[in-house]
C-alpha cells in the first residue's frame, strides 16, 4: 500500500516515518532526503535543488516528479512506499495519482498531520538533523542521548541551513501558498485521516498507527 504523510514543514513527518515504515514494511521515500543526499555527493541535481532549498522555495515540479517516479518504480517500492514531503503542489499530486494508476497502484491512506502555525517555527528552528542517516532530533523536545551524536548511526547531528529562522518563515509561506491547497485536492479521494500533530511524539505515533489500522 502506498501512503502519503502530509503536513507543513515541522509537523513531524520525518519523526513519525520510521514507525509507519516498520509497521507496514514499506520504504521511506522523502524527497527532501533525496535532495540532501545528492547535495552531499555534489551531483548536478543536488546543486540545482540547493538553489531552491536555500531560498525556502520548491524545486520545480518536473524535476521532483521524475525523481519520485523512478524511485517508486524500484524493486523495494513494489509493495508500496511511504511518501514524505511529496506531493507538495497540485501538479505533483496529479502526476502521482496518474502514474500510480498506470501501474495498477493506488494511495491507500493519506495521513494529514495538523499542527498549529505558531508551533512550527520553534519546532523547525530547534530541529537538528543527522548528516549520516537523516534522523531528526529537537534541542529540547527530542534531544539525542549524546549532544551532537546520532542515536541511530552515531553520525554528526547538526542544524540544517534551511532551518535557520529566516528561511523557516519563507518555507512556511511557500507551504501556505503552494502545498496547503493539495489537501483540498486530496480530500475528495476519501482517504485522508487528519491527526492532531501537536500532541507528544508517542501520542501522535499511536494515532497514526490507529488510523492505518495497525
Q: Taking CB within 5 to 8 Å according to partner kind, which of ligand ADP, Zn ion, none is near residue 80?
A: none
Residue 49 interacting with Zn ion (CB under 5 A): no
CB 96 within 8 A of CB 42: no
Binding span for Zn ion by CB under 5 A among 4-12, 21-29, 118-126, 143-151? 143-151
The β-bridge relationship of strands 28-30 and 136-138 is: unpaired
**3-state SS of 49-60?**
HHHHHCCCCCCC
What's the rounded Cα separation, in Å, for the pair 13 and 16? 5
CB 127 within 8 A of CB 160: yes
Dihedral pair phi/psi, residue 191, rounded to 5°: -120, 15
Which residues in this chain contact ligand ADP in the complex, by CB under 6 A? 7, 9-15, 31-32, 35, 52-53, 57-59, 64, 85-86, 88, 92, 123, 126-127, 136-138, 141-142, 162, 171, 200-201, 204
Indicate the residue among 26 and 204 with the shorter CB distance to ligand ADP. Answer: 204
Q: Taking CB within 5 to 8 Å according to partner kind, which of Zn ion, ligand ADP, none is near residue 136?
A: ligand ADP
CA-nearest of 141, 137, 135, 155 to 84 is 135
Indicate the residue among 46 and 132 with the shorter CB distance to Zn ion. Answer: 132
Indicate the residue among 146 and 189 with the shorter CB distance to Zn ion. Answer: 146
Size of the site for Zn ion (CB under 5 A): 8
**Residue recorded with cell 516528479:** 65
What's the rounded Cα separation, in Å, for the pair 28 and 77? 9
Site track 144-163 with Zn ion (rule: CB under 5 A), x = hit: ------x-xx-x--------
Residue 17 interacting with Zn ion (CB under 5 A): no
Q: How far is the CB of 130 from Zn ion (least distance, A)?
A: 3
Indicate the residue among 108 and 143 with the shorter CB distance to ligand ADP. Answer: 143
Cα distances (angstroms) measured from residue 13 to each of 10, 28, 66, 105, 198: 7, 11, 22, 23, 12
Residue 143 interacting with Zn ion (CB under 5 A): no
Q: How far is the CB of 190 from ligand ADP (least distance, A)?
A: 23
Length of the chain equals 214
The CA dihedral of 9, 161, 201, 3, to the nearest 10 degrees, is 50
Indicate the residue among 110 and 137 with the shorter CB distance to ligand ADP. Answer: 137
Footprint on this chain of Zn ion (rule: CB under 5 A): 130, 132-133, 135, 150, 152-153, 155
Amino acid at each position: 500500500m502506498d501512503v502519503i504523510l502530509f503536513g507543513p514543514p515541522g509537523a513531524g513527518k520525518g519523526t513519525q516515518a520510521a514507525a509507519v515504515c516498520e509497521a507496514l514494511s514499506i520504504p521511506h521515500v522523502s524527497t527532501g532526503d533525496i535532495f540532501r543526499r545528492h547535495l552531499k555527493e555534489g551531483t548536478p541535481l543536488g546543486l540545482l535543488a540547493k538553489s531552491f532549498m536555500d531560498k525556502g522555495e520548491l524545486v520545480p515540479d518536473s524535476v521532483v516528479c521524475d525523481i519520485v517516479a523512478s524511485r517508486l518504480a524500484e524493486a523495494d517500492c513494489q509493495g508500496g512506499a511511504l511518501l514524505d514531503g511529496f506531493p507538495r503542489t497540485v501538479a505533483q499530486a496529479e502526476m502521482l495519482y496518474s502514474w500510480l494508476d498506470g501501474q495498477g497502484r493506488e494511495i491507500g491512506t493519506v495521513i494529514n498531520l495538523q499542527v498549529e502555525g505558531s508551533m512550527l517555527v520553534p519546532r523547525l528552528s530547534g530541529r537538528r538533523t543527522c548528516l549520516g542517516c537523516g534522523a531528526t532530533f529537537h534541542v529540547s523536545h527530542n534531544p539525542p542521548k549524546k549532544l551532537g551524536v546520532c542515536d541511530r548511526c552515531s553520525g554528526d547531528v547538526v542544524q540544517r541551513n534551511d532551518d535557520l529562522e529566516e528561511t523557516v518563515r519563507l518555507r512556511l509561506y511557500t507551504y501556505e501558498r503552494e502545498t496547503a491547497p493539495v489537501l483540498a485536492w486530496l480530500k475528495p479521494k476519501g482517504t485522508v485521516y487528519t491527526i492532531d500533530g501537536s500532541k507528544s511524539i508517542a501520542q501522535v505515533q499511536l494515532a497514526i498507527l490507529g488510523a492505518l489500522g495497525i
